[in-house]
Amino acid sequence: MRWFANHSPHRSSGLGSKALSTTSLIKRPRATNGAGVFEKEHKADITERMAEQQDQDGDTLKQFNLLQYRTIRQELYNQLTDEQRSAYEVKAAETNEAYKALPEKSTIFE
């Protein structure tokens, strides 16, 4: 590992360079929840509503965009009925189970 890190063509030299490690190269996907699945399916609606809210307020500060985005996402998610929310929770559980499953042999070397 150390030899490869020292002789790699991708090695960046300098004070801020980091050594390669196996944990930095391989990252598992994070688990998700119902609100995360809802966000992926309704991203355009959330950004559209965020733009409308910024136009009304006359505020386009970049530092508050993430906070606004999360607030609007949570408001829209809370407006759903219990059946709709449970459907998103089921989709999230299926996604999380797929993350835990081992890859198929045909896709390992791709």
Residues 44-71 have pLDDT tens digits of 999 899 888 888 877 666 556 888 889 9
Q: What is the pLDDT of residues 87-101, one digit of tens each?
A: 999 999 999 998 888
Residue tagged 């965009």 (tokens): 65
Report the pLDDT value the prediction gives residue 76, as an integer from 0 to 100: 94
In this structure, is residue 63 part of a structural domain? yes
Query: Could you tell me the CA-to-CA distances from 72 to 18, 33, 109 in Å, in that order?
Result: 38, 17, 41
In this structure, is residue 37 part of a structural domain? yes
Say whether pTM exceeds 0.85. no
Total domains, the chain: 1
In this structure, is residue 22 part of a structural domain? no
Instruction: Compute the distance between CA of residue 31 and CA of residue 99 in angstroms, rounded to an integer.
Output: 8
Residue 39 has pLDDT above 90, yes or no: yes
What is the token pair recorded at 80?
A: 């759903």
In this structure, is residue 36 part of a structural domain? yes
Sort 62 into a burial class: Cβ within 10 Å, 0-12 / 13-18 / 19+: exposed
In this structure, is residue 66 part of a structural domain? yes
Residue 86 has pLDDT above 80, yes or no: yes
Q: In terms of residue numbers, what domain contains 72?
A: 29-101
